Amino acid sequence: MSAVLDVVLSSAFLAAVLRVSTPYLLAAFGGLVAERAGVSNIALEGQMLSAACTGALVAGYSGSVARGALCGVGVATLLGLLLAALRLELGADVIIAGIGLNLLASGGTAYAVFTLLDDKGGTSGLKSGSLPAVPLPGIESIPVLGDALSGQNLVTWLALLTAPVIAWLFYRARFGFHLRAVGEMPDAAASVGIPVRRVQYTGLALSGALAGLAGVFLSMGYVSFFVRDMTAGRGFIALAAVFLGGLRPWGVFLAALGFGTAEALAVQLGTLDVPPQLVSTIPYAMTLVALAVYAWRRTRQTGGEVAAAA
Amino acid sequence: MTGTLIETEDRREYKATRRRDLAVDLSMALATILAALAIGFVVMLVTGNDPVEAYGAMLTGPLERSFRVGRWLEDATTLTLLGLSVAIPFRARQISLGAESQLYAGALAAAAVAIFLPLPPVVAVVVPLVASAVAGAGMGLIPGSMKARLGANEIVATLMLNAIVVRVYDYLVNGPLKEPGSSAVHSKSIQQDSALTPLRDWFGIPLGRANVGLLLMVLTAVALWLLITRTPLGYRIRMTGSNPEFAEYGGIRVPRVIEWSFVIGGAVAGLAGAHLVQGVYGRLEPGLAGSLAFEGIVVALLARNNPLVVVVAGLFYSYLRAGGDIMEQQTDVGTEIVVVIQAVIVLLVTAQALPDLLKRRLARKQVAAR
């Protein structure tokens, strides 16, 4: 047990938590924005994957990391807009359309990498570099925390910043009010002159961009190359964090951080005599229980009405 | 007597409508597939490959040798079972994405019985199959009751269960169930008597790992079709899917129907796991199912959740998968183009307003021509 505590309390572990949590945080906020706009974004996974692949490929061929990152985020944004268009213009089921986009991303990225590089696994043969780490002046002098925070990637800082920004957007900005109104009751929102479609398109674009940033981090920060299907279900976990966090910015922040912590813990405990696979199930089991409790409380509040029809 | 006359006329009209609907459904499916293949054609052309050669290899390859046919049929069996497993909850308008967890639970249960429990012949095949169906059904019951009784979001619940079960499976295959003394990660082989008979024993030609699971799959599909179209439970499932409030008003206990749809779907996905263990691999392997569980959803969608059509869609889809692999060996085109084609099919199928949009445009053109 003390060995576990030693691991958990080290600054290296805190640094790992921040690094591992970064994609979860960004993708979860992407999911939150979409969910609040009334369009579930199941395609987070595919958006991350496309961004990761595009980022690594563009950076590798152009030699510019910044251009790669921008293109990656751009592609994910376009996928967000495509999801919105499928839903709003073509009446698609948003869940199934999301599954389709995930498939498209999985097949498309693997096909692109194989066609360009003749490599089944990923872009490890292509030198694409990674986004810079940002040292904050003075922060290294803080004990424990300083070591954890110094040298974190630019995107990690952005991910941590996203929480207050989204909270501000939701509760202080006009766009956030519109977004929440549209998600809550589109007809009512339309009746007071809110441009429902434009708000939903913007929301889905923002959602895609955030997921894209998460993807770019995976291939240009976490590691410096693209690996086939490297998102490995992170988009779905992020989606769970959205619900676990009760659709609120700070709740989602904590949930995503929790998933990141559990994963970092699972990696660290792999060196000890605890099966890492079992440790890593904890957050999912917690989500499942939380989901049940949350739903149970809601049914109680609505006077035992059967919510199955919903 | 006039009553019966009207009745016969009504019936004739009803049958004509049914026929017309079926024709429309079939031609829509065909048009969707052709459109997706056309998009694949363009993608290959743009990426500098030769699409004619590639499609040639993809579409004729799987039939060229008997063991390739076997590969196709073996893959189709698993995929169709998975498609059937989601088609049932989809019929009740429940988005169950839990086929993965149900498959792994079924595979574990089948393997546990088939490896460790000595049983007489025949029984040794049946008991693991039953065990897998029960395990899969249990894994379906969890999100099913959470949705039915608490109103918990079934998408998140099934995704979480997937994540949990996949990790537990991974742990078991790497740990307690790993064959001792083996350097590769897999379980012990199942007992001889528990194996599903390979088809080559019947036909005397090499058919790879294709086995009697194929028959089992067809029987399951027919049984599910009968269930959906000919039984009270099937009626309740369809009613719940088309209008839950009306179903409730009509005296159907919607929560129970939802639970049943998950349980039945889970049992079928469990069977898919048993097929992989008893028919294909003969043991537990890491990452047994690959991405099959999600592709089962595509099959169900393409078949519009009609169990009999799911078989056709499953066979078609596996054919593309098998063809894709052969295409990659014979040409330089990556097999992943198949996934892209599949994705396009999904997106076209779900874009429901697309046919209406096309029709309206055509009508407008006709008006303009006059």
Average pLDDT over every residue of B130-155: 91
Asked if A277 and B339 come within 8 Å (Cβ–Cβ), the reply is: no
Kindly identify which residue of chain A lies nearest to residue B246, measuring between CA atoms: A309
Write the DSSP string, B249-309: HTT--HHHHHHHHHHHHHHHHHHHHHIIIIIIISS--TTTTTTHHHHHHHHHHHTTT-HHH
Residues 79-118 of A with CB under 8 A from B: 86, 89-93, 95-97, 99-104, 106-108, 110-112, 114-115
**Site from B41, B82, B86, B164 to mutate, A interface, most A CB atoms within 10 angstroms:** B164
Average pLDDT over every residue of B73-93: 92
Q: What is the pLDDT of residue B275?
A: 93
- Residue B249 belongs to domain with CATH number: 1.10.3470
Domain boundaries, chain A: 2-132+145-309
Average pLDDT over every residue of B307-315: 91
State yes or no: pLDDT of B79 exceeds 60. Answer: yes
Average pLDDT over every residue of B168-186: 84
Q: Is B174 on the interface with A (CB under 8 A)?
A: yes
Highest mean pLDDT among A15-24, A205-214, B51-60: A205-214
Q: Is B105 on the interface with A (CB under 8 A)?
A: no
Task: Say which residue the tokens 């779900």 belong to.
Answer: B350
Kindly identify which residue of chain B lies nearest to residue A279, measuring between CA atoms: B167
Task: Say which residue the tokens 């169990």 belong to.
Answer: B307
B14 within some domain: no
Average pLDDT over every residue of B159-167: 90
Look at residues B98, B122, B272 and name the one whose alpha carbon lies nearest to residue B193.
B122
Distance (Å, whole) CA A200 – CA A182: 8
Structure tokens at A127: 């030198």
Structure tokens at A66: 């910044």
Average pLDDT over every residue of B220-244: 90
Look at residues B184, B210, B196, B187 and name the one whose alpha carbon lies nearest to residue B108.
B187
Helix then strand count (H, E) for chain A reads 14, 0
Asked if B155 and A277 come within 8 Å (Cβ–Cβ), the reply is: no
Instruction: Using the CB atoms, write b or e for B202-211: b if 16+ within 10 Å.
Output: eeeeebbbbb
Burial group, residue A1, by CB count within 10 angstroms (0-12, 13-18, 19+): exposed
Question: Could you say which of 3.40.50, 2.60.120, 1.10.3470, 1.10.10 is the CATH number of the domain covering A2-132+145-309?
Answer: 1.10.3470
Structure tokens at B271: 């069977």
Residues of A in contact with B298 (CB under 8 A): 99, 103
The one-letter code for the residue type at B287 is G
Q: What is the pLDDT of residue B353?
A: 65
B2 within some domain: no
State yes or no: pLDDT of B248 exceeds 70. Answer: yes
**Site from B44, B82, B167, B177 to mutate, A interface, most A CB atoms within 10 angstroms:** B167
* Helix residue ranges per DSSP H, A89-220: 94-117, 145-149, 154-172, 174-184, 186-191, 196-217
Angle at A269 between CA A266 and CA A270, to 5 degrees: 85
Burial group, residue B261, by CB count within 10 angstroms (0-12, 13-18, 19+): buried
Burial group, residue B60, by CB count within 10 angstroms (0-12, 13-18, 19+): exposed
B303 within some domain: yes
The confidence band for A147, taking pLDDT boundaries of 50, 70 and 90, is low
pLDDT tens digits, residue range A155-171?
888 888 899 999 999 89
B47 within some domain: yes
B17 within some domain: no
Residue numbers of the domain that contains B33: 27-364
| C-alpha torsion angle, residues A92, A45, A47, A86 (rounded to 10) | 0
Asked if A298 and B151 come within 8 Å (Cβ–Cβ), the reply is: yes
> By mean pLDDT, which of A149-158, B276-285, B295-304, B339-348 is the weakest?
A149-158
Question: What domain count does chain B have?
Answer: 1
pLDDT tens digits, residue range A81-122?
999 999 988 888 888 899 899 989 999 999 888 888 887 777
The ipTM of this complex is: 0.82
- List phi, psi (to 5°) of B322: -65, -45
List the single residue in B49, B146, B352 with the smallest CB-CB distance to A92. Answer: B352
Average pLDDT, chain B: 86
Q: How many angstroms separate the CA of residue B135 from the nearest CA in chain A?
A: 18
> By mean pLDDT, which of A125-139, A188-202, B40-54, B68-82 is the weakest?
A125-139
